[in-house]
Amino acid sequence: MVAIAASRVALVTALMISATSSQGVAAQPSPSFPPFINDISGNASIGALFKLQRDDMKASLKKDADPYTADGAEYVEQGDDVADNEWISKSGYRFKDKALTQQGIGILNAFSSLPKSVLDANMQRTVEINHGANKDAQERALVDAFDLPYLHFMADGFGPTLGKVFLEAYQRGDLKKTAALIKASELSTSTAKKHFDYPRPFQVSDSRVSLVPDRWIFAGDHPYTASEASFPSGHTNSGQTDALLLAVMVPERFDALVARGDGYGFSRVILGVHYPLDVIGSRMHAEMAVAKRLNDPQYRTLFNEAKRQLREVLEKGCGKSLAQCVSTQATNDDPWASDQAKAFHRYTLTYQLPRDSAKHEAVSVPKGAEVLLEAALPNLSAEQRRQLLARTALPAGYPLDQAGASWQRLDLIAAHDAGQRKR
């Protein structure tokens, strides 16, 4: 079972100095490491877009971080130049986060009864991913990490053409309502972290995880690290929330944006600051929170206004309808919309962690989860969307699955694709 409180203290040591070596991580992927992640930067179009994302993020941090250091970046929030936070405040809407936070802990409670064999596999997978990432993947992971206050990292989820339009509009401040609402919608994981109180991979005494030196953002080869407990991942929760909200706003890019959220979570494992289970738990946490918000009529009013702003700006920048703009992006220049990205998404649902094959329960789709597919499958009823989520769900028995309604088993991309075939 997962050790609690005092029994965990024995597992935790000071940061491993050997993990901070400026030699970094050897890129020798294990068979379980999805090559898709190491291959992305080899795509010329997405590689060029990534450089724009990185440089725009650095410019924003130089403006907003005081001092311009990794520590200073921890306290950065989107400025008024890119986000209209006053618009949300004037609306009178109140985010009911206290109740959602408790629900978030509830859907993750299976973590507290995981056997040692699963936790050992969780650590092993972390080491494989941490050691398997090449230098390009490490750089992308660091950009994801430091871009937490912003939305630059989501640009490549739109593809090379639309992604550049999104990035330029965001930097100009043309998406202030969209940016403000998305970031305000992120549900904190701090309470959950305190509840589960699990040490990070690099804090465990016999860890073979290597922290990644920052050669690209603040430079100096200082190792990227993180504080607070490990489970669930706060960064992943934010990245998954951002990606899912954008996928609902722009359903023409639904699969690609959902997969990009998975990539954000994967980056936390590359950096050695989280385990796969932290990332899986945060995906569940984000999907639950986004569904709850979208089923709230008052929130939906703000969401629709932000969605309208985003779509109008993207269409204006592209010069044609979003459907036309998306369809003209070459598939070989658009890795997040590829079959490989879908396979990667499927991998991240479980990270190939061991399944309890003795469990065969039929899935129970959480109430309200079908709203996540509403924009992408507008011609289907709520009940039809629920049926799709049930039909495409993972088998029972993977870590974090639990009796009753299970967010762990939902596969949004598989359900969406099945719904498109159904039409």
User: How many Å from the N-terminal Cα to the C-terminal Cα in the chain?
Assistant: 46
For residue 221, the model assigns a pLDDT of 79
- SS3 (DSSP) at 268: helix
Alpha helix ranges (H) inside 65-196: 70-73, 85-91, 97-107, 116-132, 135-146, 160-172, 176-184, 190-196
List C-alpha distances in Å: 69 to 76, 138, 190: 11, 19, 23
pLDDT at 12 > cutoff 50? no
423 pLDDT tier (thresholds 50, 70, 90): low
pLDDT of 164-185, one tens digit each?
999 999 999 999 999 999 999 9
For residue 365, the model assigns a pLDDT of 97
For residue 367, count other CB atoms closer than 10 A to its CB.
11
For residue 21, the model assigns a pLDDT of 37
Query: Dihedral sign, CA of 192, 197, 202, 203?
Result: positive
For residue 331, the model assigns a pLDDT of 72
> What single letter denotes the amino acid at residue 64?
D
For residue 15, the model assigns a pLDDT of 38
pLDDT of 49-70, one tens digit each?
999 999 999 999 999 999 999 9
Paired with 12 in beta bridges are 204
pLDDT of 88-133, one tens digit each?
999 999 998 999 999 999 999 999 999 999 999 999 999 999 999 9
pLDDT of 362-416, one tens digit each?
999 999 999 999 999 999 999 999 999 999 999 999 999 998 899 999 999 999 9
Q: How far is residue 299's CA from residue 307's CA, in Å, rounded to a whole number?
A: 12
Q: How far is residue 154's CA from residue 53's CA, in Å, rounded to a whole number?
A: 9
For residue 289, the model assigns a pLDDT of 97
List C-alpha distances in Å: 122 to 65, 76, 361, 406, 420: 34, 31, 24, 20, 34
For residue 20, the model assigns a pLDDT of 37
421 pLDDT tier (thresholds 50, 70, 90): confident
Per-residue pLDDT, averaged over 307-327, amounts to 95
- Helix (H) / strand (E) element for 287: namely helix 276-294
290, 295, 298, 299 alpha-carbon torsion, rounded to 10°: 10
Transcribe 320-385 into DSSP letters: S-HHHHHHTS-GGG-GGGSHHHHHHHHHHHHTT----TT--PPPBPPTTGGGGGTTTSTTS-HHHH
For residue 233, the model assigns a pLDDT of 98
Q: How far is residue 250's CA from residue 258's CA, in Å, rounded to a whole number?
A: 11
Paired with 213 in beta bridges are 223
Alpha helix ranges (H) inside 32-92: 35-39, 44-64, 70-73, 85-91
For residue 205, the model assigns a pLDDT of 83
pLDDT at 8 > cutoff 90? no
For residue 22, the model assigns a pLDDT of 34
Per-residue pLDDT, averaged over 279-303, amounts to 98
Mean pLDDT score of the chain: 91
- Percent of the chain beyond pLDDT 90? 85
* Residue whose structure tokens are 């690099």: 202
pLDDT of 219-278, one tens digit each?
887 999 998 999 999 999 999 999 999 999 999 999 999 999 999 999 999 999 999 999
Count helices and strands (H / E) in the chain: 19, 0
* Residue whose structure tokens are 């009013």: 301
For residue 96, the model assigns a pLDDT of 83
Q: How far is residue 172's CA from residue 351's CA, in Å, rounded to a whole number?
A: 38
pLDDT at 2 > cutoff 70? no
pLDDT of 344-358, one tens digit each?
999 999 999 999 999
Cβ–Cβ < 8 Å for 119, 399: no
